[in-house]
Each structure stands twice: as structure tokens, then as C-alpha cells.
Amino acid sequence: MSRGADRGREWRMPFQYEGLPGTVWFGRGERRRAGEALERLEVRRAMVLSGPRQAGLAGEIANGLPDAALYAGAAMHTPVAVTRDCLEAVTAAAADGILSIGGGSAIGLGKAVAVRTGLPHLVVPTTFAGSEMTPILGETEGGIKTTRRSPAILPAMVIYDPDLLASLPPAVAGPSAMNAMAHAVEALYAEAANPLISLLAEESIRAMGQALPGFLQDAGATAPWEEGFYAAWLAGICLGSVGMALHHKLCHTLGGAFGLPHADLHCLILPYAAAYNREAAPGAMARIAQALGVADAPAGLYALMQRAATRRSLKAFGLSEADLDTAAEMAVQSPYYNPRPVTREGVRAMLQVAYEGGAP
């Protein structure tokens, strides 16, 4: 059976689907049930992990538990040196479970510790990054980031409490929301696309598209955090279930080579990566456009990027045009699936538009 672009879908027969295990509790104030969740995981003494900026929140949650230790040293890109330091703290505290609180950085540390120790892992996310839903771990050592996938990396339980997002400034919330949207967009044209994940992806794009303007305009307690977190949860499942394509690989390459911030980079690149695949993935484009209520998917994503981003061009990230040559070269070094073949010239041309920040 061919790709059914006319019906607005990209998945093909025959398809495969493998469900990921895990338990999710979702709702305002649910973070207060962290103790109950840990009991369910038979954890008596949790090691509570966070980054330095979420240490206060992590401390509050740790104080609500009968017995817990705290480690607030998580850092971006999960440096192995931090993981080793944290493992020592886990041993010293005789912890029998991990509770990580924060964005992708804290969750990455939680995964790195859990996969090395076999301890059960509960996550309380505070951004839209979606790592809590994936069996994927990226770690850095000696300036090199390696990514691996294993069922043992997937957290056992996740508590989504939308109240925790109220402290997100628009400059973090906007790019983080677009980071989530990128997972859903690429799931629609993934090599392993399947009908169930495509449904989640389309619903995720719809929900995030509706929520995003709300929390950019009016961050704080009354913003549509619930809708945004719901979208991010679905996007996380998409990321964990089907392989990604050009957008994610390119962000990985650019982020690693030039040390660019994760969510901001995803936010900028998404409309350009979608435009790269515009003709090659018509079914996915139709579903994205429908979910956003626009005529053209990349144009709709570009409009959202313009609202969400703090940096609206690769130039604003401090890159030079010579860097674009390097990035295009790196992008074709290890082949991977993408609806449209990934060529050096094609990627270079795409990066030029992103460099100038023009419409894709």
C-alpha cells in the first residue's frame, strides 16, 4: 500500500507498533502525591535530583517525603562526571530509588543514575522537553555526546503537575513548547510512523498550537499550562516510540558542534526542517496544517516560531556563514532516514534561510 497523502497520512502498511510501559499521574497539585508514587515503586529512601535552579522546589518535595536525600547538581547534556559524583551521593545516602525534578537536564541525570544502578525512577517534569517518556539517554564525556536507547532507561512513573510550569518565563516556555512540537512533527513523517503515534502527534500539535500563544502572552498561574503539558506528554510518547529525522539530527549536530542551547535551537530550526520535507511528506504536512488550522505546515510553524523564539535566526545564535558549511558537511556524514534525501547542498541551502531568519 502506498503512502496515503490524499487521506492526510504518512504511515505505511505493513506497520509495527511497540507500546512503552510506564504510569502517568496528571493534574494540578499531583506533585504532592510523590510520596504515594514512591511507595508504589517500593522506594523508602529516595534520592531527589534537580538542577541548581530547581533546588528549592526539589527541597520542598524532598521535605514532604518521610526519608530523602537531595542532589541539585544536574547540568545540560548529562555530563558523565556529574553522573559519577551523583552516584557517590546515592551510595552514601543508601538511596533505593530516584526522584528527578526539572527539565531534560535533571531527567537525563535521573536516567543516567537509574540505568547504572537499576533503581526505580520517578520523574516530575517542569518543562515540555518530553525526556520522561523516552527510553533514550544522551550523555557527554570529553566533549562528545553519545546517545543510547534501552528499556531500562525509561522512567517507571511520571507525575505531570501543570502548576509547576507557572514559574517558566516565556523565554523558556516558548522554545520548550516548540521542542515538544518538533517531536510530534517528525513522528508524522518518521520511518517507523504508525497510525497510533500519528494520532497522538496530530493531537499534540493541535493542543500545543492552541496553548502556546496563551502562555506567551500571560505566563503565570492562569496560563493554559494544562493543555501545554498534555501536548508535551503526547509529544514525548512520539519521541520515545518512533525514530526522528532531519530536524532532530540537525539540532543534535548543531547543538553539539557549536554548543547551542537545546530548546532554542529546536524552536528556530523546526519550520525550516519541515519546509525541507514539504514535498516529500505531503500527508504529514496536511495533518500538521490541519492541526494548526493553517494552509501550509512550514508557514504555520514559522509563525509560531516567530512568537515563541528569543533568537529568530542562526545569525542571532552567533554562527557565521562558514559555520553553515561545516554544519552541512557534518549533517551528511552519518546517513539516516528522512523523507527527502539529506544532501549537503540541500541542507546548506536550508541553513542559509535559517541563518537569515526568512520565511521557509
Contacts with ligand NAD by CB under 6 A lie at 51, 53-54, 76-77, 102-106, 108, 126-127, 129-131, 134, 136-138, 164-165, 167-168, 172, 176, 239, 262-263
Query: Which residue is associated with the grid cell 510523590?
Result: 34
Distance CA 293, CA 16 (A): 29
Q: Which helix (H) or strand (E) holds 203?
A: helix 195-217
Q: Which is nearer to ligand NAD, 137 or 331 (CB)?
A: 137
Q: Which is nearer to ligand NAD, 86 or 263 (CB)?
A: 263
**Cβ proximity of 205 and 182 under 8 Å:** no
Q: Which is nearer to ligand NAD, 45 or 145 (CB)?
A: 145
What is the identity of the amino acid at 274? A
What's the min distance (Å) between Cβ of 51 and ligand NAD? 5
Beta bridge partner(s), residue 26: 160
Distance CA 105, CA 131 (A): 9
What's the min distance (Å) between Cβ of 218 and ligand NAD? 16
Distances (CA, A) of 55 to 13, 52, 61, 103, 322: 48, 5, 10, 12, 40
Q: Which residues of 117-147 are buried (b: 16+ CB within 10 A; e: fewer)?
A: bebbbbbbbbbbbbbbbbbbbbbbeeeeeee
What's the min distance (Å) between Cβ of 336 and ligand NAD? 17
Distance CA 208, CA 199 (A): 14
Nearest-CA neighbor of 327 among 340, 312, 342?
Answer: 342
What's the min distance (Å) between Cβ of 235 and ligand NAD? 10
Q: Which is nearer to ligand NAD, 8 or 236 (CB)?
A: 236
What's the min distance (Å) between Cβ of 77 and ligand NAD? 5
**Cβ proximity of 198 and 10 under 8 Å:** yes
Q: Which is nearer to ligand NAD, 14 or 142 (CB)?
A: 142
What's the min distance (Å) between Cβ of 50 and ligand NAD? 8
Radius of gyration of the chain (CA): 20
Cβ partners under 8 Å of residue 84, min gap 6: none
Q: Which is nearer to ligand NAD, 204 or 283 (CB)?
A: 204
What's the min distance (Å) between Cβ of 296 and ligand NAD? 27
Distances (CA, A) of 211 to 206, 264, 298, 358: 9, 18, 19, 25
Q: Which is nearer to ligand NAD, 102 or 120 (CB)?
A: 102
Q: Which is nearer to ligand NAD, 198 or 241 (CB)?
A: 241
Q: Which residue is nearest to ligand NAD (CB)?
A: 104
What's the min distance (Å) between Cβ of 352 and ligand NAD? 26
The separation between CA 306 and the C-alpha centre of its own chain, rounded to angstroms, equals 19
